[in-house]
Amino acid sequence: MKRIGMLTSGGDCQALNAAMRGVVKSLIFSGEQIEIYGFLNGYQGLIYGNYRMLDVSDFSGILTRGGTILGSSRTPFKLIHEPDANGLDKVEAMKHSYYKLNLDCLVILGGNGTHKTANLLREEGLNVVTLPKTIDNDLWGTDMTFGFQSAVDIATNAIDCIHTTADSHGRVFIVEVMGHKVGYLTLNAGMAGGADIILIPEIPYDIKKIVQAIDERKKRGSKFTIIAVAEGAISKEDAKLSKKEYKKKMENYPYPSVSYEVAAEILKKTGQEVRVTVPGHTQRGGSPCPYDRVFASRLGAEAGKLILKGEYGFMVGYRNREVVKVPLEDVAGKLKKIQPDSSIIKEAKMLGISFGD
């Protein structure tokens, strides 16, 4: 008999349900008796002992359902050691929930912040297995996170839709793509959608180069230009600022996001009409794509295997096309970023895509 606590934390994404279903199915089909305690709304459920006992039927019919049946929330790691409003020690409270229910382990699905707390719980002596979710694909230790491919599909679709209207009107269009501080989503959706210019945080841009790329397209007879801008894209000048200076600049920032700044600069320098589209949270919503359904199910099944073997303290990840277990202490606190000299960037440049550098 295994008593398993499960939670989904941080921003949601597609295939969280598929992954949890994978864990539970693999355990059931192994013949192991299990009890599943689903903590509601991420670490909040673990802190405040808010859980629901789940049975097999809860995991039926959820392979294709987006979101998470457990709910999610953000519990910032930097505040984890600070008592809550009523003076509750959050770390002790999480341990209390675990021991009170006599759990064998916790299965935690999350991204970067979630993994820091998961690793802390491991250090505190709890048995933890994690699964890598995020549309950002920025989790260290795994080549791929689930949610990413589904979000690429949605962001690509947004760029595809913009293409036809951009062509009709001969405008410059910006599509702002999520991804927090990394550019995987923008790079992949940008390339898949045929964007002419792609701006990602890992390659700070020079507005003059962007204008130059637009002008060159015009000279070649193109009526329009599509720019995929990562929400975390940054100019060369801003990249040189210290953290403090950058924070100060952002205090008086007149734009809703970087895309609007780029749009204003292009208008100022070229007089051309620019339109900004922000698909926002649609990128995290809806049904997981087939790739993510398969991928998350596989990772879930492998997490079930680790639980059966009693191997704890690992994230189930994916490297060089193999499902692997990665020690949590190696994952926590590290960000996976695009290397500006990686082959995908070189290939994109060979295709004529400008990164504004």
Within 80-231, residue ranges assigned H as helices are: 90-100, 112-123, 148-169, 184-192, 207-219
Catalytic residues: 136
Return the number of the residue (11 or 66) whose C-beta is nearest ligand F6P.
Answer: 11
Which 13-72 residues touch ligand F6P, going by CB under 6 A?
none
Among 5, 22, 179, 300, binds ligand F6P (CB under 6 A): 179
Cβ atoms 152, 159 nearer than 8 A? no
3-state secondary structure of 69: coil
> Residues 216-235 vs ligand F6P: string with x where CB under 6 A?
---------------x----
Question: What is the sign of the dihedral through the CA atoms of 269, 271, 272 and 273?
Answer: positive
The answer to whether residue 178 forms part of the interface with ligand F6P (CB under 6 A) is yes
Return the number of the residue (98 or 260) whose C-beta is nearest ligand F6P.
Answer: 260
- One-letter amino acid of 71: G
Which 186-215 residues touch ligand F6P, going by CB under 6 A?
none
Strands 34-39 and 2-8: parallel
The answer to whether residue 11 forms part of the interface with ligand F6P (CB under 6 A) is yes
Applying CB under 6 A, the site for ligand F6P has a residue count of 11
Return the number of the residue (284 or 305) whose C-beta is nearest ligand F6P.
Answer: 284
The answer to whether residue 297 forms part of the interface with ligand F6P (CB under 6 A) is no
The region of 54-62, 129-137, 242-250, 336-344 touching ligand F6P under the rule CB under 6 A is 129-137
Cα dist. 21→15, 147, 182, 204, 291 in Å?
A: 10, 15, 29, 40, 16
- One-letter amino acid of 316: V
Going across the sheet that includes 225-230, the strands are 197-199, 225-230, 172-177, 274-277
The answer to whether residue 116 forms part of the interface with ligand F6P (CB under 6 A) is no
**By the criterion CB under 6 A, which residues form the site for ligand F6P?**
11, 74, 111, 134-136, 178-180, 231, 284
